[in-house]
Amino acid sequence: MFSIFNKDRRSIINFATVLILLIVCVIIWGKTRSYEFVWDDSYFIVSNTALRSWKMIPNYFTDMSTMAGNGLSKVFVVYRPIRNISYLLDFKIAGLQPGWWHIHNVLLHLFNSILVYLVAKRIFKKGWLPPLTAALIFLVHPVQTETVAWIKCRDDLLAAAFSLLFILYWLIRRKQQFNKWDNVIFCLLYMSACMSKVQAIVIPSMTIAIDFFTPTQYHNHDSENVNKPDFIKSILLQWKTITCLAITGFGYLIIRSSVIGKISQTDYLAGNFVSTMLTMTRAGINYLVLFIFPMHQTADYCGMSPSKSIPGITEIACSTCLILIIAALFILRRRFPRACLATTWIILALLPISNIIPTMQYMAERFLYLPMVGFSLFAASVINYIQKRHPTVALCILLLVTVTYSITTSSRVAIWENNLTLFTQTVNDTPEEAMRPRANKLLALIDKGKYQEAIPVAEKLCRYSFSENSKVSAKTSAQYAASLGFSKLMIGEKAEGLKWIEKSVAVDPTYVQPYIYLGVIAGMDGKHEKAMEIFIQAIEIDPLKTEAHFNLAVAREKQGLLDTAESSYRKSIELGHKSQEAHKTLAALLWSRKRYKDAADVYADALEIWPNDDELNYWFKRAINE
């Protein structure tokens, strides 16, 4: 009877926990359903036509060009086929309407929070408060905003989901000697996690840490006797599984390296290994601060300066702190095993992005998504320790931390609404010498048509890039000049605008955007033949530039060259033009030539991408009735 009562009580607690997580998740993260695609979503999703057909799935595993659109797979050196499959599912459900894509991110985050709860239950074994603590901290921590609110971070969500499923299954089965089907499940989950993001490569080492800090009693299949809890014994019992996982991990790394063509994403960011590692000691302490006091967040840590090869006081202090943390793991492992396990989880999860093998940046808050599991378990350990002595105090602390984090997160997530809100806040969060956030804000202002506001931003960037001590590349300087010139043109300062656009071309003749601006201005002046020449020149420089093909189509249509205009419109669409404009103008051209069926086909293709567009729906119905 008591067994049944306890079972019912556990079910009620589990249900109540999931319900609490669901309610909190909707309150904090539900607003993202109205947010736009932002930042790199444009390259990984909007312009990536590889995400629009089931036939492309095999290519995700073998072809780097499917990772990003506009030929940018060489810039973004990533291998994440599972993320692409997830994106493809979103596209088939909602096209390029970002609402569902954001909801998908939120659902994955909720799922991961529930998995954290289940993992914590297995680790803490007794009590409901520590697992609830772990789940709530993971769900509402302000550092999670980038991963959850930015669709591009789907890879972090998926890698964590498969990793947590792996860990949970390990905890469920670890009292037994694993059989071959267990090994198959482990290897599939491990490979899926790695195929989502390489950061998951360390997951098997976390199971070893679990067995080291929280050993269990293993049942021998050949006997009913219970073996003495022993870390070495557990390793010996699991050697087949560990071997299978090692082969799986090594196989993944071979596949990844063969597809991307190299092991690392780039060279060492600080110029050499030593300087980069010294810089990463500062990054490590910054991460620690973000875990505990997430008050100074930013979406872009590009302003972080590299350390020199000879460590300074800051690097020595940071290195000392990190060494002390590692030493504490061994000193306190018996007294606080779960806290030490949680800390080890954080360290292991940070290793793949520690730039030992170079990555593309020193820091990013999305890198903390998998380590956040460890921090959540650490917080649960603290609450568990306090609860044993002062249960009411432990509950009050959890409520206070949860409410504080929730308020901070709710405020922070709002900056991800669109590019302008994101980069306006990022400019405020970064030092004056960080140019990339300001360049991104400039592009966002131009995209929103706020040219008057864009000009002072562009002028500041140009002053910096054309100064004597500037180390900005020619292409970047050309980008700043072209943006300033176009903004001035759009507010009527034609002479000044043309001067800056021509300067952009002179600085870097291979940068294509100023040619498009010049072509658009020529078209606005009625010089369509000249515009055509400029757009053709732009296409010769960058054959994948969708704007060049689209504007060439417009110029050709103005000149009455309807057949070639049609082919240019279709090329723009094929390359992934980011708006409905190319489909609408092509369909209108076909309609004017009384090719109603062809126009209907174009509208149908557009509706697959933008299913909720009222104008497309209206004209599609008109076309099929003609």
Q: What is the DSSP string of 144-190?
A: GHHHHH-GGGHHHHHHHHHHHHHHHHHHHHTTS---HHHHHHHHHHH
pLDDT at position 442 over 50: yes
Q: Which pLDDT score is estimated for 3? A: 54
pLDDT confidence bin for 59, thresholds 50/70/90: very high
DSSP 242-260: HHHHHHHHHHHHHHHHHHH
Q: Which pLDDT score is estimated for 21? A: 95
DSSP annotation of 217 reads: P
d(Cα 154, Cα 100) in Å, to the nearest integer? 13
The predicted model scores a pTM of: 0.92
d(Cα 347, Cα 339) in Å, to the nearest integer? 13
Q: Which pLDDT score is estimated for 199? A: 93
Residue type, 355: N
Q: Which of 139-153, 195-209, 565-579 has the least mean pLDDT?
A: 565-579
CA dihedral 274, 277, 281, 286 (to 10 degrees): 130
pLDDT digits (tens, 9 = 90+) for 362-375: 999 999 999 999 99
Residue type, 149: A
pLDDT at position 33 over 90: yes
pLDDT confidence bin for 270, thresholds 50/70/90: confident
Q: Is 497 exposed, middle or buried (0-12, 13-18, 19+ CB in 10 A)?
A: buried
pLDDT at position 220 over 70: no
d(Cα 317, Cα 322) in Å, to the nearest integer? 9
Query: How much of the chain, in percent, has pLDDT values that exceed 90?
Result: 61
d(Cα 209, Cα 551) in Å, to the nearest integer? 58
Q: Which of 73-77, 341-345, 619-623 has the least mean pLDDT?
A: 73-77
Nearest to 210 by CA among 164, 141, 158: 164
Cβ atoms of 170 and 210 closer than 8 Å: yes
Alpha-carbon radius of gyration of the chain: 28
d(Cα 329, Cα 336) in Å, to the nearest integer? 9
Q: Which pLDDT score is estimated for 11? A: 83
- How do the domains of the chain map onto residue ranges? 2-416, 419-581, 582-626
Nearest to 40 by CA among 151, 143, 155: 151
Cβ atoms of 154 and 108 closer than 8 Å: yes
Q: Which pLDDT score is estimated for 239? A: 78
Q: Is 388 exposed, middle or buried (0-12, 13-18, 19+ CB in 10 A)?
A: exposed
What CATH fold (topology level) applies to the domain 419-581?
A: 1.25.40
Cβ atoms of 123 and 171 closer than 8 Å: yes
Higher-confidence position of 232 and 61: 61
3-state secondary structure 394-429: HHHHHHHHHHHHHHHHHHHHHHHHCHHHHHHHHHHH
pLDDT at position 113 over 90: yes
pLDDT confidence bin for 330, thresholds 50/70/90: confident
d(Cα 392, Cα 398) in Å, to the nearest integer? 10
d(Cα 315, Cα 328) in Å, to the nearest integer? 20
d(Cα 259, Cα 60) in Å, to the nearest integer? 10
Residue type, 313: I
Partner residues linked to 219 by β-bridges: 226
pLDDT confidence bin for 201, thresholds 50/70/90: very high
d(Cα 220, Cα 211) in Å, to the nearest integer? 17
CA torsion through residues 327, 331, 332, 334, sign: positive
Q: Which pLDDT score is estimated for 8? A: 72
